[in-house]
């Protein structure tokens, strides 16, 4: 005999799952998911409100934007008049006013070149890149320094502000990358002397702070050359910065070189390619592509550290802002000055780091979860 | 048809071994020429300027005072003493910075992985803000915009009436050891030794029986308990010097100069942003399968974290962390911008300006940082070799 169970009434419907969509669902999932998280959310939100509201009031709501002198500032919020009144100096430094159009041209060219190289869809990357590395520095040198073709000569001690910061950063980047590649190749060389020279060079620069390098460039380099040679102060700093960062660049590139399979090199050898053909056509294109994020990170570090030149008496963006703070007409605006300088540097560095992340995602076409 | 081997070799300049030799010989010649030129020029330049080379200046009287010294120092001290004072100040701010940056960095890095959206975003904003602003700007901001805006000593901000913050720095109670305090230090040393032995024993015991001792609790109890016991038994041989307002300044207590505070704040906050990223990437680098495997063995969450995730994450984190510590030590040289008396400021700055011995002083300063870097790198290589995956 078998028994069968038969329901003679409907089973009650189960409750639907928790609300998982919409604003309430998002809030529950991300902010109030359990008692601990709820407490964390409330504390964090409270802290943010406590810190951000006065900041917003100071920086925007109660700030003064328009005017010429410090009397135009109410004193309740930030006095951005301090920045706008000396904006020209912050951008051009002491560059003679009549010649500032030359700086503008270089700014425009730099922006166009960077945009061209950064936007993947634009063609002829190789030629534009070659121009950026070789042609542009020459054009920039003749335009900025002057003294030829009827242009007024502008000594480097009159350079300053954002223009000087960008000059140092660009020269540092353009100089340290090729030097770093050579050093990285040298470090992997089979020739013992070449290898040891590169290792010592790299480890030396990586072991000392940039500031001592700048000190060395400003007090020791003049001793190393004959007295007759007049070594420009800016040029000395640039040499120091280039050597210093090329060592970091070399280590980044070495990481890429090590990641390339040995078979690639051996295949090149089997085809009878010379060392430079193998490196230039097979190894380096792959290795450099792998380490683009690392290279950009080094660029960011280099850009941030251009501010150190103020210690040896060059007037970069930060130094110009700082010099403005000692103006007797404008005492007491240290916060505005440094916040502005921080903001300018932040915009440059943050865009570079975003771009590096974008490239990383674009190149990372392999396995992804 | 076979050719004879002597002809198959081809001309000499196609032989890789010969070419390598020639190339290296040229490089060597160029290097020797460069060095000779530098030495020759330097000698000529120094002679023209009337500077004698050598380290004799180290025994001369320095003749300037330094606002913060960890050892006895006065204007009558020698330049060698200046060097040591600067070095100690560099090490002081570096150690303080490393401790603070590690704590903030780990907190922010772990927060960034939190399931709490608000906390994770806040941590991300912290990282992206402070990582992308030059350290020098941050140092100057803290020093000139924040600390210089503090009130004068008479209007100090008081915390519990024992800590006072003003434009001249942070004044706080200073512990003064009385005779007999050495016993507490010896007890601490003893406790550390005992814990080390206990760890060895616990490891062997676990290997034999599979049972673990509660080492965290035992260790903490020993290291805190034993010195505390000795401290109480010897009749608390410690006195606090409490700062008091006297005239225009404070008497008693110990003052942390604003330069040190600004540098410490900036170094910690800046480096913490990098450490946070390292911690995050380290934890994320542990394959998810590891956590799933631990879960399928029904390990509880905290054991999974402590015994599975963290040990594997540390392998990624520690080398990068060390390089951040080295960066912090090197970055502490930015002290010279606000006048904190570190090695670069007092030795490569003031001492160099007074003596003009540029080569010796810059070389000594660089050598200090180089030695620190090389020692830490060597220790790092040992660590890497020990934590390498033991693959069979």
- The closest CB to that of B140, out of A37, A208, A338, belongs to A338
Using 50, 70 and 90 to split pLDDT, how confident is the model at B101?
very high
Please report the pLDDT score of residue A366 as a whole number: 55
Q: Which of B338, B323, B295, B291 is nearest to B310 (CA)?
A: B291
Structure-token pair, residue B379:
């220790």
Predicted local distance difference test score (pLDDT) of residue B303? 86
Confidence of residue B293 (pLDDT cuts 50, 70, 90): very high
How confident is the model at residue A368, as a pLDDT?
A: 47
- What pairs with residue B171 in β-bridges? B164, B255
With CA atoms as reference, the chain B residue closest to A192 would be B24
Mark yes or no for CB contact B118/A41 under 8 Å.
yes
DSSP secondary structure letters along A113-167? HHHHHHSTTSS-HHHHHHIIIIIHHHHHHHHHH--STTPPP--GGG--HHHHHHH
Q: What is the pLDDT of residue B97?
A: 94
| Average pLDDT value for residue range B365-379 | 89
Distance CA B176, CA B254 (A): 11
C-alpha separations of A160 from A88, A168, A324 in Å: 11, 10, 13
Q: Please tell me the pTM assigned to this model.
A: 0.85
pLDDT digit string (tens) for B110-153?
899 888 888 899 999 999 999 999 999 999 999 988 888 787 77
The CA distance from A253 to B187, in Å, is 51
Average pLDDT in the B170-192 region? 82
Segment of A289-298, A302-311, B168-177, B373-382 carrying the highest mean pLDDT: A302-311
Mean local confidence (pLDDT), B42-52: 79
10 Å Cβ neighbour count for A151? Answer: 14
pLDDT digits (tens, 9 = 90+) for A41-72: 888 889 888 888 888 888 877 777 777 777 77
Task: Report chain A residues whose CB lies below 8 A from the CB of B140.
Answer: 318, 322, 338
CATH 1.10.3720.10 spans which residues of chain A? 82-95+154-363
pLDDT at residue B391, rounded to an integer: 57
Residue B136: closest CA among A248, A60, A305: A305
The more confidently predicted of residues A26 and B36 is B36
pLDDT tens-digit readout, B250-288: 777 778 888 999 999 999 999 999 999 999 999 888 888
Q: Cite the beta strand spans of chain B per DSSP E.
A: 157-159, 163-166, 169-172, 174-177, 238-241, 244-246, 249-251, 254-256
A232-290, pLDDT tens digit by residue? 888 889 999 999 999 999 999 998 888 888 899 999 999 989 888 999 999 988 888 88
pLDDT of residue A86: 81
Q: What is the pLDDT at residue A18?
A: 65
Residues of A in contact with B352 (CB under 8 A): 215, 219
Q: pLDDT value at position B358?
A: 81
Nearest to A126 by CA among A258, A1, A285: A285
CA A139 to chain centre: 23
Residues A160 and A180: their CA atoms lie apart, in Å, by 28
For B57, half-sphere exposure in the C-beta direction (CA atoms, 13 angstrom radius) is: 22
Pair B322, B375: CB distance under 8 Å: no
The interface residues of chain A toward chain B in range 161-220, judged by CB-CB distance below 8 A, are 190-194, 197, 203-204, 206-212, 215-216, 219-220
What pLDDT is recorded for position A365? 59
CA A224-A227-A229 angle, to 5 degrees, is 85
- Mutation site for B-interface testing, chosen from A206, A209, A244, A352 by largest number of B Cβ within 10 Å: A209
The pLDDT-based confidence of B9 (bands split at 50, 70, 90) is low
Q: Give the residue-averaged pLDDT of B325-338.
A: 91
pLDDT at res. A243: 93
Is residue B178 very low, low, confident or very high in pLDDT (cuts 50, 70, 90)? Answer: confident
- Share of residues in chain B with pLDDT > 90 (%): 24
Residue B389 — very low, low, confident or very high, per pLDDT cuts 50/70/90? low
Written out in words, the top-level CATH class of the domain with range A82-95+154-363 is mainly alpha
Interface of A with B in 14-73 (CB under 8 A): 30-31, 33, 37, 40-41, 44-45, 48
Yes or no, beta carbons of A349 and B117 under 8 Å apart: no
- Give chain B positions within 8 Å (CB) of A346: 129, 132-133
Q: Which residues of chain A have pLDDT under 70?
A: 1, 18-20, 364-369
Those residues with Cβ within 8 angstroms of residue B44's Cβ, 6 or more apart along the chain or in another chain: A226, A227
Q: Which residues pair with B158 in a beta bridge?
A: B164
Which of B264, B268, B333 has its CA nearest to residue B86?
B333
Q: How far is A267 from chain B (nearest CA, A)?
A: 18
Q: Looking at residue B361, what is its pLDDT? A: 87
Please tell me the predicted confidence (pLDDT) of residue B368.
92
Q: Tell me, what's the pLDDT at B103?
A: 94
Instruction: Look at B30-34, B53-57, B91-95, B229-233 and tell me which has the smallest mean pLDDT.
Output: B53-57
């Amino acid at each position: 005999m078998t028994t069968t169970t038969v329901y003679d009434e409907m089973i009650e419907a189960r409750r639907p799952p928790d609300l998982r969509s919409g604003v309430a669902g998002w809030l529950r999932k991300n902010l109030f998911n359990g008692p601990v998280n709820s407490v964390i959310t409330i504390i964090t939100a409270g802290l943010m409100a406590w810190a951000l509201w006065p900041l917003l009031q100071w920086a925007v709501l109660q700030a003064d934007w328009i005017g010429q002198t410090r009397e135009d500032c109410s004193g309740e919020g930030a006095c951005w008049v301090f920045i706008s009144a000396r904006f020209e100096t912050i951008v051009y430094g002491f560059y003679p006013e009549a010649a500032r159009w030359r700086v503008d041209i270089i700014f425009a060219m730099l922006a166009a070149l960077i945009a061209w190289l950064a936007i993947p869809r634009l063609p002829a990357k190789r030629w534009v890149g070659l121009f950026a590395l070789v042609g542009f520095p020459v054009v920039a040198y003749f335009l900025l320094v002057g003294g030829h073709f009827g242009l007024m000569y502008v000594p480097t001690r009159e350079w300053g502000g954002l223009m000087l910061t960008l000059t140092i950063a660009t020269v540092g980047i353009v100089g340290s990358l090729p030097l770093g590649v050579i050093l990285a190749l040298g470090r992997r060389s089979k020739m013992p002397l070449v290898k040891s020279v590169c290792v010592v060079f790299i480890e030396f620069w990586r072991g000392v702070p940039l500031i001592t390098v700048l000190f060395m460039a400003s007090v020791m380099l003049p001793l190393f050359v004959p007295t007759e040679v007049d070594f420009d102060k800016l040029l000395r700093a640039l040499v120091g910065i280039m050597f210093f960062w090329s060592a970091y660049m070399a280590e980044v590139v070495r990481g890429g070189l090590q990641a390339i399979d040995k078979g690639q090199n051996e295949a090149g050898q089997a085809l009878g390619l010379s060392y430079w053909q193998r490196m230039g056509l097979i190894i380096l294109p792959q290795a450099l592509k792998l380490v683009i994020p690392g290279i950009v990170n080094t660029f960011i570090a280099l850009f941030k550290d251009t501010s150190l030149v103020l210690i040896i008496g060059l007037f970069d963006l930060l130094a110009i802002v700082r010099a403005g703070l000692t103006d007797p007409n404008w005492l007491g605006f240290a916060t505005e000055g440094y916040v502005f300088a921080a903001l300018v540097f932040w915009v440059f560095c943050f865009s570079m780091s975003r771009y590096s992340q974008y490239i990383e995602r674009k190149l990372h076409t392999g396995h992804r979860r | 048809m076979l050719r004879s081997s002597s002809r198959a070799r081809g001309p000499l300049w196609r032989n890789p071994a010969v070419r390598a030799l020639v190339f290296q010989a040229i490089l060597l010649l160029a290097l020797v020429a460069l060095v000779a030129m530098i030495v020759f020029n330097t000698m000529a330049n120094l002679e023209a300027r009337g500077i004698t080379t050598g380290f004799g200046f180290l025994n001369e009287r320095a003749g300037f005072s330094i606002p913060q010294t960890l050892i006895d120092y006065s204007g009558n001290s020698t330049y060698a003493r200046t060097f040591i004072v600067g070095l100690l100040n560099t090490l002081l701010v570096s150690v303080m910075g490393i401790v603070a940056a590690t704590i903030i960095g780990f907190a922010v890095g772990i927060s960034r992985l939190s399931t709490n959206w608000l906390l994770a975003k806040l941590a991300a904003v912290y990282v992206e803000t402070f990582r992308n602003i030059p350290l020098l700007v941050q140092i100057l901001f803290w020093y000139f915009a924040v600390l210089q805006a503090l009130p004068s000593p008479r209007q100090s901000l008081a915390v519990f009436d024992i800590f006072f913050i003003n434009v001249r720095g942070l004044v706080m109670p200073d512990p003064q050891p009385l005779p007999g305090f050495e016993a507490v230090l010896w007890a601490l040393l003893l406790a550390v030794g005992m814990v080390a032995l206990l760890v060895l024993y616990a490891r062997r015991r676990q290997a034999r029986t599979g049972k673990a001792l509660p080492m965290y609790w035992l260790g903490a109890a020993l290291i805190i308990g034993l010195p505390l016991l000795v401290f109480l038994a010897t009749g608390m041989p410690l006195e606090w010097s409490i700062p008091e307002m006297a005239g225009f300044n404070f008497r008693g207590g110990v003052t942390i100069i604003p330069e040190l505070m600004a540098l410490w704040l900036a170094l910690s906050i800046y480096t913490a942003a990098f450490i946070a990223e390292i911690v995050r990437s380290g934890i994320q680098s542990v394959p998810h399968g590891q956590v799933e495997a631990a879960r399928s063995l029904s390990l509880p969450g905290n054991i999974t974290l402590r015994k599975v995730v963290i040990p594997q994450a540390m392998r990624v984190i520690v080398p990068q962390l060390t390089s951040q510590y080295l960066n912090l030590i090197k970055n502490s040289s930015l002290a010279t911008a606000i006048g904190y008396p570190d090695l670069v400021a007092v030795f490569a700055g003031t001492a160099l300006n007074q003596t003009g011995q540029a080569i010796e002083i810059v070389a000594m300063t660089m050598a200090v940082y180089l030695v620190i870097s090389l020692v830490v790198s060597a220790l790092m290589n040992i660590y890497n070799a020990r934590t390498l995956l033991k693959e069979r």
